[in-house]
Structures are given as structure tokens and as C-alpha cells.
Amino acid sequence: MDGQLKPRPSGSKLAYLPGAESITRIDPWWGLVVLVVGLTVTLVTVRADPFWRILLFVRDGVAVTAFITVSAFMFTLIAGMIGGLGRLSRNPVIHGVATLYVEIVRGIPLLVQLIWWYFAFPVVVQGIGRWLNIAAIANYQSNAIFTAVTGLTVCYGAYMSEIYRAGIQSVPKDQAEAARSLGMTHFQSMRHVILPQAVRMVLPPVGNEFIALLKDSCLVSVVAVADLTRRGREFMAVHFNPIEVWTMVALLYLIMTLFLARLVSWVEKKAHFER
């Protein structure tokens, strides 16, 4: 009948309009993850010697790398939030301290910071212990894992502070004014109105920082941390096969970074972040 609505065919152009795609669609870039994993498995099974021996030797380094990355990232989120709020504080002392922290830390290479935390920081603590005449502090010895997590947290916390600051400032001021007009305090408006929106805005750069942190974690190998990079260097020093060792190490890092990239993309879609 002329006045009857006809069902729209499944191949309609409406399905190709921006925003019309289903958010449950599988990310096609998972294929790259599968490809790299398949290549690694092929090397380990087909050419088991020396790739299988390398994998067995560095597997504890993979666990250490994952632990350091996740731990440092959790503390970085906290440090970044504190630093970002400090940068936006109207208190000149808090604002000055937060700004000084960001400017100093961003001006020093991460490798230098890690070396300072491992070699110089214990000397400072021991000096304070001798000055206070406290034997426990005077005999302080640095822990490699603790030093690595601390160095990464302090460094990436400065960059995360700027990400949070930009995210908070991107929320329209009308939101805060509307919250205050409803009787909310500054803390309540920040907690219930501003920060939830800011967190969604900063998801992409925060995800990128997570991936960058994973890659930069290889620098902790210079401060006696037996991570993936250090274990690979130890295997190469004994067997003198740099091509096989660093190919396997590179593939393991690539698997972890590609997986994290897809995980970050999934979290963004779940948060319905609009680019």
C-alpha cells in the first residue's frame, strides 16, 4: 500500500553514518595482535632452539616488567591527580609547589632520574639518619624494585598532572557554576560534576601514557632490576646471539603494547568518548 511504511533494507546508507556503528563490533586491529602472537609461537615451536630457551630464560623478566608497569601506573594516576589539582589551586603555595614539581621533573631525562633514585637517594637518606642519630635510617639500602617504581611514578606523575589539568580545564565553567547554584561546595562540585567529565576527556592521553610507561620501563634495567630487557642482555652475554635474543624481546614487548592499545581502545568505547 502507498501509505504503508516499508522496512529499511539492511544495506541502507544509514548504517554508514558517523556514530551509527555498533560499539560492540570487534576491533579489527586485534588481528595484528593475533598475527604477532602467531609469529612468536611459530618461532618458538618451529625454531625451538634458541627461541624456546630464550623465552624460558626471560619469562620472569616479563612478570617483573608487568608488575613494575602496573604498580607505577597506579601510583602515577594518584600523583597526577594531586599534581593536576595543585596546578589549579588558588593557594599560591600549593600552586607554586605543584608547578615547581612539574617543571623540574619534566626537565630531567627519565634515565637520569632512575639513576639518581637508585644511587643518590640512599646516600641522602643515610645522611639524614646519621644527622638524626637513627640507626635504621642511617643503614638504609635501596631496593631495586622500589626504586624503579618510585622513579617512574615521580617522572610520569609530572606529565599526568598536566593531562589532568588540561582535562579539568576543558570542562565548561558553566558546569561548576550550576553545581554551586545547587548548593554544592567546591569539593562536592569537583568530585561529582567536574572530575567525572574530566576523566572521560583524558582517557585517550592517559591510555597513551600507560603504553609509553610500559616501553620506558626497559630503562629500569640500568638500576639492577631483572626486567625483560636485562634478562635478554644476560642471555646474550652468555650465548652471543644478539639477533635471536633481541628479536624475541622485541616481539614480547610488541605483544604487550599491542594488547594494551586494544584494551585502552575498548575502555574508550565503553566510556562513549567522542573524538
Look at residue 86 and tell me if it is in a domain. yes
Question: Nearest 5°: phi and psi at 108?
Answer: -115, 130
In a domain, 231, yes or no: yes
Domains held by the chain: number: 1
Sign, Cα dihedral of 181, 182, 188, 192: negative
The identity of residue 88, as a single letter, is L
At residue 24, the pLDDT reads 52
Q: Give domain status of residue 196, yes or no.
A: yes
Q: Are 115 and 191 in contact (CB under 8 A)?
A: no
CA distances from 138 to 142, 148, 223, 227 (A): 12, 21, 21, 29
Q: What is the CATH number of the domain that holds 75?
A: 1.10.3720.10
| pLDDT at residue number 8 | 52
Q: What would the mean pLDDT of 207-213 be, rounded to a whole number?
A: 92
Residues of the domain holding 243? 56-270
Candidates 77, 97, 78; CA nearest to 87 is 97
Spatial separation of the C-alpha atoms in residues 208 and 82, rounded to whole Å: 20
pLDDT above 70 (res 172)? yes
Work out the average pLDDT over 62-79.
95
Give a yes or no: residue 18 inside a domain.
Answer: no
All three cell numbers of 5, joined, read 511504511
CA 234 to chain centre: 26
Cis-peptide, bond into residue 50, ω within 30° of zero? yes
The rounded distance, in Å, linking the Cα atoms of 68 and 145 is 7
Span 124-132, average pLDDT: 92
- Which of these, 157, 175, 148, lies nearest to 85 by C-alpha position? 157
Tell me what pLDDT residue 16 has.
Answer: 44
pLDDT of residue 108: 95
173 exposure class (CB count in 10 Å sphere: 0-12, 13-18, 19+): exposed
List b or e across 234-269, with b for residues whose CB sees 16 or more CB atoms inside 10 angstroms: bbbeeeeeeebbebbbebbbbbbbbbbbeebeeebe
Across the chain, where does the E strand assignment appear?
none
pLDDT tier at 275 (50, 70, 90 boundaries)? very low
What pTM value is reported for the model? Answer: 0.83
Q: Is residue 8 part of a domain?
A: no
| Top-ranked range on mean pLDDT: pick from 6-15, 40-49, 209-218, 256-265 | 209-218
Rounded percentage of the chain residues whose pLDDT exceeds 90: 54
Structural domain contains residue 135: yes
Among 113-122, 159-168, 189-198, 218-227, the range scoring the smallest mean pLDDT is 189-198
DSSP 3-state assignment of 25?
A: coil
- Concatenated DSSP letters of 176-204: HHHHHHTT--HHHHIIIIIHHHHHHHTHH
Residue 17 lies in a domain: no
Of 256, 258, 259, nearest to 67 by C-alpha is 256
d(CA 44, CA 38): 10
Q: Is 88 helix (H, G, I), strand (E, B) or coil?
A: helix
Is 9 part of a structural domain of the chain? Answer: no
For residue 28, cis peptide bond before it (omega within 30 degrees of 0): no
* Eight-class DSSP state of 7: P
What is the pLDDT of the chain when averaged over all its residues? 85
